[in-house]
Amino acid sequence: MKCVVTGGSGFLASHVADELVKQGHEVTILDKKKSKYLNHKQKFIYGDIKKKHKLLNILKKKDILFHFAAISDIGESIKSPRDTVITNILATVDLLEICMKYKIKRFIFASTIYVNSEEGAFYKSSKRSAENFIEEYSKIKNLKFTILRFGSIFGERSELNNGVKKILTHALKKKEVRYYGSRNTMRNYISVQNAAKLTVKCIQKKYENKHVEITGRSKIKIYKLLKIVKDELNISKPIIFDKKPHLGHYINEPNTYKFKKGEKLYINSELEFKEDLQKYLKSLRKTIKK
């Protein structure tokens, strides 16, 4: 397959690009910054997904789009809600239009398990909205898609805002194990290499028009992770928990979103509809006669 990976210089997406090459696919990476991990079998194009006119030729004669480019940090989304909307929603819709124009065989979208959570701030809201647009493009325009909802990923090439990297980096530098969040935190951790393999697996026909969760098999208590780090680094100090709330992050269960029904409000007259319709019809007649 001829594949394009937006945001392909980033943490997970760069591993996906590598996995695609391993499996014999042709890979073009589109990103605002050049990948440090680019290999000779990958083509790189400088590009910003917010500039639609520059994306048109990139997707021409391609088969699959892996769309990873996004504002993906919850903290950044809280600081920049408008930029989050432009990058995560509007640019995604532009890409959907281009995919329809060039008859892309599959739009594979990097989403998050936060879409079904009460947490996740504007990041969650933007990904939920983007998912809705993708689903409607499928219904109305017959776009073929796969939505991937990623959980907690760790491993090489991660940024400093990655949860596991924060813990490990602090422990290595300060010789103490500290966690900024609740001691009751639990996550389904998955390595980036395994997440990349599962992502590429979703090219298969059986994942067409599906929503797929890519997470670790089992929930891991944060204390267990911290204890492993403590033991591996022979740190004698007790584990430190920062009691400040970790804004926008769930503690142990992401699937907490409940649809909010509106409260119904009525005018009490039973004749309301007929009388109002008659009034409107009378008014409209005068307008049309003129």
pTM of the entire predicted model:
0.92
* pLDDT average, residue stretch 109-132: 97
Asked if residues 121 and 248 have their Cβ atoms less than 8 Å apart, the reply is yes
Q: Across the strands, what pairs with 152?
A: none
Taking the C-alpha atoms of residue 59 and residue 101, their distance in angstroms, rounded to an integer, is 9
Taking the C-alpha atoms of residue 1 and residue 26, their distance in angstroms, rounded to an integer, is 6
From residue 80, alpha-carbon distances to 59, 83, 121, 243 in Å are: 29, 5, 11, 25
pLDDT per residue as tens digits for the range 152-168: 999 999 998 899 999 99
Residue 145: per-residue pLDDT: 98
Chain-centre distance of CA 240, in angstroms? Answer: 31
Domains of the chain: 2-156+188-217 (3.40.50.720)
Mean pLDDT of the chain: 93
Candidate from 59-63, 145-149, 253-257, 267-271 with smallest mean pLDDT: 267-271
Residue 245: per-residue pLDDT: 66
Residues 140-150: b if buried by 16+ CB within 10 A, e if exposed: eeebbbbbbbb
Taking the C-alpha atoms of residue 66 and residue 49, their distance in angstroms, rounded to an integer, is 13
Residue 287: per-residue pLDDT: 85
pLDDT per residue as tens digits for the range 189-245: 999 999 999 999 999 999 999 999 999 999 999 999 999 999 999 999 999 998 776
Residue 277: per-residue pLDDT: 86
Residue 267: per-residue pLDDT: 72
Taking the C-alpha atoms of residue 10 and residue 165, their distance in angstroms, rounded to an integer, is 15
Q: 210-214 and 190-191: which strand pairing?
A: unpaired
